[in-house]
Amino acid sequence: MKKFIAIISLFSLLLASCEKNNEVTPLKTLGKATVTFDAVFGTQDFSINKDFMSGSKTYNFTKFRYWVTNLILVDTKGEEYNVPNSYFLIEETAAVPVQDGAFTYPATKRETIQLNDIPIGDYQAIKFSIGIESKYNDNLSLQIGELSQLNGMTNVSWMWMTSYIFSSIGGKVTDGNATKNILVETGLNTNYKSVLLNLPTPLLVGSNKNAAIILTTDVSKAIDGIDLIANPVVGASKANLMAQVATNYTSKVFAVKSNQ
């Protein structure tokens, strides 16, 4: 029996390794879509190294990064399509020193996810989660999608506790004479939360058309309710504040701007 299984595995391995050589024609029932996470700060377009006013505070950010995972498209019949391997790092960041500066992750702006092989149909809602579910968060050796130890969304102090940083906002805040360097992060398993957004009109995914959803991601809402002068570092030792930030991500950070 073992031999049998071994041979089957061998067979599938060979098939898999041959794929490159075969011209696979795409099935007509599949289409493409992009999902864009357009970062904003309130009504303004978000950018790093730029001042944003909010009440008496002025913020200037160096990074805004978060994991979008387990993307689901819900069609007008209510049926769900789970996008496979959907673990995407969405970010606008200056260069990130990784492992206390042992190497550097380059400055990056990435707001769009390309989805291929979506079953054609009319979709009325999009669901996704912010962060990494416990299976992967607790075990760094299980890698899927874009999960990696090399992009600065894990670090030693986090590894001593759990593994991935789900979301990270860094920069500084000034209020009157006070200036603080800020770092607002989530990453506990309980911070893993999903977002459901209904689309104003159905998204039509066809075989000849690249459908697009554009969302806004409001950084000001992510830190809403947190006094970053009093608590400039929201991390593992401030579990309550982390929970509040995680709830902000699930309840008010994301909105649908348009879809076509």
List residues near other proteins by CB under 8 A: 1, 3-4, 6-8, 10-11, 13-15, 17-18, 21-22, 99-100, 102-103, 138-143, 149-150, 154, 156-157, 159-163, 236-237, 239
Asked whether the beta carbons of 69 and 88 are under 8 A apart, the reply is: yes
Q: Cβ of residue 164: shortest distance to other proteins, in angstroms?
A: 10
Q: Closer CB to other proteins, residue 233 or residue 256?
A: 233
For residue 82, the one-letter residue type is: N
Task: Report residue 48 as tokens.
Answer: 């790093």
Q: Cβ of residue 75: shortest distance to other proteins, in angstroms?
A: 32
CB atoms within 10 A of CB 50: 13
Residues facing residue 31 across a β-bridge: 118
Q: Cβ of residue 95: shortest distance to other proteins, in angstroms?
A: 15
Q: Cβ of residue 146: shortest distance to other proteins, in angstroms?
A: 13
Give kind and range of the element (H or E) at residue 135. helix 134-137
Q: Nearest CA to 208 among 76, 30, 23, 24?
A: 30
Q: Closer CB to other proteins, residue 223 or residue 242?
A: 242
Q: Closer CB to other proteins, residue 15 or residue 255?
A: 15
Q: Closer CB to other proteins, residue 129 or residue 162?
A: 162
Q: Cβ of residue 130: shortest distance to other proteins, in angstroms?
A: 21
Q: Closer CB to other proteins, residue 22 or residue 43?
A: 22
Nearest 10 degrees: Cα torsion 13, 17, 23, 26 = 50
Q: Nearest CA to 131 among 14, 250, 12?
A: 250
